[in-house]
Amino acid sequence: MSAGGTMAPEAIGAAAPWPRDTSPRPHGWHVIAEIDLARMLTRHSEQRQLCDALEAVADDLPRLPAEADVALLGRRLAGFADIGQAEDRIFARLALENSAEAEGLAEAVARWRLLDALHAQDLADILVAGDSDEDACRTDRLAYMLRCFFEGCRRTIALRETAILLLGRPRLTKAATASLRTSLARA
């Protein structure tokens, strides 16, 4: 049991949603270090690489890459919905510790993330279908879908990183702030 009378998650066999901090601070989380952001920033880098690869596909339309490359892109897109818990935990903590506006921002980011995941699934479906038909309608549709995905994905990443930078400002270490700014500069 914790001091507040509730049972700690690890006591019932569940993993704690974030590292346990026994400090007397209001929410128990006094600093956001670079290591706290590492998983999220790595994921963002991978997502940006996927966006770059899909932008190259869009630029080369109506010609599609080799079948093996298209299959790889399809698999990467299909796994896109697995966003990762690290980002969710950081946002949940910041929303709890800030105002209702912060909670609204976290909800907006979640909606954009869902839209990105839907676009990723649609793209995976059309790319994996492997239709070699190069008619103008299909090419235009694919070009539009590709651009919607990679522009939306980049926008969501930038929004997420900016929100953490702004909402977490008092808690971010210098290294964490520098990592976020470096990542945003790549956007």
Look at residue 10 and tell me if it is in a domain: no
Extract the tokens encoding 33.
């270090």
Look at residue 19 and tell me if it is in a domain: no
Cα distances from 126 to residues 57, 69, 142, 154, 156, in angstroms, run: 13, 14, 8, 21, 23
pLDDT of residue 20: 42
Look at residue 143 and tell me if it is in a domain: yes
pLDDT of residue 131: 58
Give the domain extent around 39: 30-185
Cα distances from 47 to residues 18, 52, 78, 116, 178, in angstroms, run: 24, 9, 12, 11, 20
Question: Confidence band (pLDDT; 50, 70, 90) for 147?
Answer: very high
Question: Confidence band (pLDDT; 50, 70, 90) for 28?
Answer: low
pLDDT tens per residue, range 94-106: 766 767 777 788 7
| pTM for the full predicted model | 0.75
pLDDT of residue 8: 44
Mean pLDDT to the nearest integer, 28-44 = 83
Look at residue 17 and tell me if it is in a domain: no
Mean pLDDT of all residues belonging to the chain: 78
pLDDT of residue 133: 56
Could you identify the residue written with the tokens 């914790």? 2
pLDDT tens per residue, range 58-87: 999 988 889 899 889 988 888 776 655 556
Say which amino acid occupies 5. Answer: G
20 neighbors 29 (Cβ within 8 angstroms): no
Mean pLDDT to the nearest integer, 47-57 = 94
- Tell me which of 62-71, 98-107, 126-135, 177-186 is least confident: 126-135
Look at residue 126 and tell me if it is in a domain: yes
Look at residue 9 and tell me if it is in a domain: no
Look at residue 49 and tell me if it is in a domain: yes
Q: For residues 55 and 19, which has the higher predicted lDDT (pLDDT)?
A: 55
Measured CA to CA, the distance from residue 90 to residue 17 in angstroms comes to 10
Domain count, the chain: 1
pLDDT above 70 covers a percentage of the chain that reads: 72
Ramachandran category for residue 13: left, alpha or beta (phi over 0 → left; psi -120 to 50 → alpha): left
Measured CA to CA, the distance from residue 132 to residue 135 in angstroms comes to 9
